[in-house]
Amino acid sequence: MKARIDKLKSLNLKNYGHDFLLTWDKSSEELEATLLLAEVLRERHRLGKSNRVFDSGLAVSIFRDNSTRTRFSFASAANALGLAVSDMDEEKSQVSHGETVRETANMISFMTRVIGIRDDMYLGEGHSYMKEVSEAVQTGFEEEVLHNRPGLINLQCDIDHPTQSMSDLAMLSNHFGSLEALRGKKIAMSWAYSPSYGKPLSVPQGIIGLLTRYGMDVTLARPEGYGLIPEVVALAGKQASASGGSFKQVNSMDEAFEGAHIVYPKSWAPYHVMEERTTLLKQGDKPGLKALEQLCLANNAKFTDWECTEAKMKLTHQGEALYMHCLPADITGVSCKQGEVSAAVFEKYRCDTYLEASYKPFIIAAMMFLTGVKAPISALNKLDD
């Protein structure tokens, strides 16, 4: 812990800011600080030490989509830092009566230290909504309506899932020994078959948008037509070039797995489908949504062989690549008839995926800490006092 705290002291955190919305908006030092502090908080928790840096205040969560890991990780992180958790149910609020985003943001923020939002259902909407909330609380603070400016944490939007990708990065850093050890490692971020449609793009985009910054060889594998947001794909290519790594797209799962040190087989809906789905959702076009679903499921069914199997795992580096997943995975013969991963592969790496998920409460706690505390190092030292 001392070595990590000493490293934290050497990093420039003056511009960390109140919000954590997209990983590519954060500097390398700010990302490293998040990882280091998460490890310190994790170790302190393991040793039974208190991490209560706040003596009062709320952590407000707004979930516009279902969640298990992220919802409980947010609540756990807030509680560990000394904040009470309030989960905002928009159906029970005045939002349905026309209350504006600006008004809602200020009304929930009078004694709030952090706001966490998951809004990944509508392409082009989630990130925009988070920015609107951020601007509203900033204005409320500047106008002296709010005593404190609450921090805002992206718990998953249409573009990025930073708490997930940062947790994955923490897992990889520990698995391989350090961030520097990731340089030259190959990861296959691959589409995988699922008997459902409409899964967000933010997990694969989060992975290619973060890991390309660490000199890794990142391969995005997908069937023809299952593209991601073009701007994020272009960003991944630029970051890979700048970091000395590589980024490429292939249309073969086998090719992506060949020699890979890490595999991340995860289903998502095609970019153009999510665009159409967003339009239909806004219009309330239920017949249109049903027709789109049937069309997409039929198209998915063409690629049932895009499954992470024991045979495909043998193609990886020494046949022992690390299998990763944000969970829940579609497990063939367990959670569905046919899915993203075989039961044998998932069971072999089950504890690894649970460990991967276990970093998330501490990553979120670190984000809360760094966005909400003016002097994080001093506050950290005071915990032991």
Q: What ranges do the domains of the chain cover? A: 2-158+360-384, 164-348
The reported pTM is 0.96
Q: What local confidence, expressed as pLDDT, does residue 96 receive?
A: 67
Q: What local confidence, expressed as pLDDT, does residue 1 receive?
A: 87
Q: What local confidence, expressed as pLDDT, does residue 198 receive?
A: 79
Q: Are 289 and 280 in contact (CB under 8 A)?
A: yes
Q: What local confidence, expressed as pLDDT, does residue 92 receive?
A: 76
Q: Are 86 and 60 in contact (CB under 8 A)?
A: yes
| CATH topology for the 164-348 domain | Rossmann fold (3.40.50)
Q: Are 303 and 235 in contact (CB under 8 A)?
A: no
Amino acid at 168: D
Q: What local confidence, expressed as pLDDT, does residue 248 receive?
A: 98
List of the chain residues with pLDDT < 50: none
**Is there a shared CATH topology between the 2-158+360-384 domain and the 164-348 domain?**
yes
Give the separation between CA 223 and CA 299, rounded to whole angstroms: 10
Give the separation between CA 179 and CA 264, rounded to whole angstroms: 18
Tokens of 262: 């890490």
Domain 2-158+360-384 has CATH 3.40.50.1370: yes
Amino acid at 303: F
